[in-house]
Amino acid sequence: MDRNPLATFCDNRVFPVVSCLTFVSPPSYPLPMAKLSIQSLDVQNKEVLMRVDFNVPLKHGAITDDTRITAAVPSIQHLLKGGAKLVLCSHLGRPKAGASAEFSLQPVAVRLAELLGQEVKLAADSIGEEVAALRAGLQAGQVLLLENTRFYPEEEKNDADFAKQLAGSADIFVNDAFGTAHRAHASTEGVTHYVKQSAMGFLMARELEYLVYKLDQGERPFVVIMGGAKVSDKIQVINSLMAKADTFIIGGAMAYTFRKAQGYKIGKSLVENDKLELALDILKNAEAKGIRFLLPADTRITQEFKDGAETRVTAAYTEGGEIPDDWEGIDIGTQAIAEFSKEIASAKTILWNGPMGVFEIGSFAEGTRAIAQAVADSAALSIVGGGDSVTAVNKFGLDDQMNFISTGGGASLELLEGKELPGVAALTNV
């Protein structure tokens, strides 16, 4: 089973990867047209601007998780091997008042140089005469990293003049930042208007391959695991996936909205009171379509929201297992773990998006850990759809046991909803 999230493809036109995959019918998703792939480019002695997602977590100026940097390495190495003069651009954090040392990409340049085994120059800015001079002086096989694009408010406004300056003298643009593809920013969409060709990198292609094609053609039973805090955050995904899922497994705080809508007491648990009717509509829709919609049979509860706090597990809801007024639900219970794990074991395709509880706190992490392990143990095609699910999988050391882990939070959700991503739509059609 292919468990390598950075594997390359066997066809030059990766989207769709027709020579790698066999499709019995056209996908039902509203897909973008086939897009130019990095593997189809002639980059020898050409300046290539590449959008990467180097928005890594920092603590006291040190990178605490370099996953997003390592994820971009295959595309970077491919371009350098092809003789490109490579210019990288990315945002980092949400700077509010222009340039700031706190949000500088300097630590990223150091780490990337270590990974590539070669010098990575860091420009002091992302546009301007000095940056243009540095770009003009690049030789084939060299790398220049531009400073944080969000030091300019024009980046998020997709300002045309800023995009033109960012594109500079590049002949080719490569977008490998799937996590920002749902935003029409200057560095994701605007620059495509000022270069000759715009292509997707390996990471971008891999995301589209799994989150669109492989889900669309996945074997049944197809089990969708949804968690997190709010039904409202996932409603469009749920509605979209009802066209193909056999079973939905619901955990996290969003489960309490469903339980309250059914008339159960949920104590102090997080709930969306304005979404109770919506929750009932989802349940009715699933029933009408013959889709299994599994809510937690029991709940782990606490009176103190802290590690080491006392916890209890309610009786099953079918046995009156409601949550007392002064307690709150923070995880799925033992019966829910067993039932969900059994359902996962029978699946052929699994999509997981959202934790089962407050897994960041050790005392409340058992449900998410157990579900992560069940997915890892399954023989099904397993796709982890970004966000907190990825954090959980990494925390429990199970990342190498999943078929695919998405690098995009909001981008993953919007793609699963069937939306067109501006950063993908702007690439060159083939």
CA distance 75 to 43: 12
Q: Give the 3-state secondary structure of residue 22.
A: coil
pLDDT, residue 22, reads 26
pLDDT, residue 30, reads 38
Catalytic residues: 68, 230, 387, 410
What are the sequence ranges of the domains in the chain? 38-207+420-425, 220-379
Q: 47 - beta bridge partners?
A: 85
Cβ atoms 193, 420 nearer than 8 A = no
In this chain, the answer to whether the domains covering 38-207+420-425 and 220-379 adopt an identical fold is yes
Class of domain 220-379: alpha beta
Q: 384 - beta bridge partners?
A: 352, 405
Residue 317 phi, psi (nearest 5)? -60, -35
Successive 10-residue mean pLDDT values, the chain, 430 residues: 35 29 30 79 98 93 90 96 98 92 96 97 98 98 98 97 98 96 97 98 93 89 93 88 95 95 95 95 96 97 94 89 94 97 98 94 96 97 88 92 89 89 95
Tokens coding 327: 């307690």
Taking only the tens place, the pLDDT of each residue in 54-85 is 999 999 999 988 888 999 999 999 999 999 99
pLDDT, residue 327, reads 96
pLDDT, residue 231, reads 87
- Could you tell me the pTM of the whole model? 0.83
Q: How many CB atoms lie within 10 A of CB 11?
A: 15
DSSP H or E run through 112: helix 106-116
pLDDT, residue 65, reads 85
Q: Which of 149, 138, 383, 72 is nearest to 244 (CA)?
A: 383
Q: Give the 3-state secondary structure of residue 174.
A: strand
Q: Which of 98, 139, 104, 97 is nearest to 122 (CA)?
A: 104
Q: 62 - beta bridge partners?
A: 59
| CATH 3.40.50.1260 for domain 38-207+420-425 | yes
CA distance 302 to 331: 9
pLDDT, residue 227, reads 93
pLDDT, residue 13, reads 26
Q: Which of 225, 221, 208 is nearest to 373 (CA)?
A: 225
Taking only the tens place, the pLDDT of each residue in 83-137 is 999 999 999 999 988 899 999 999 999 999 999 999 999 999 999 999 999 999 9
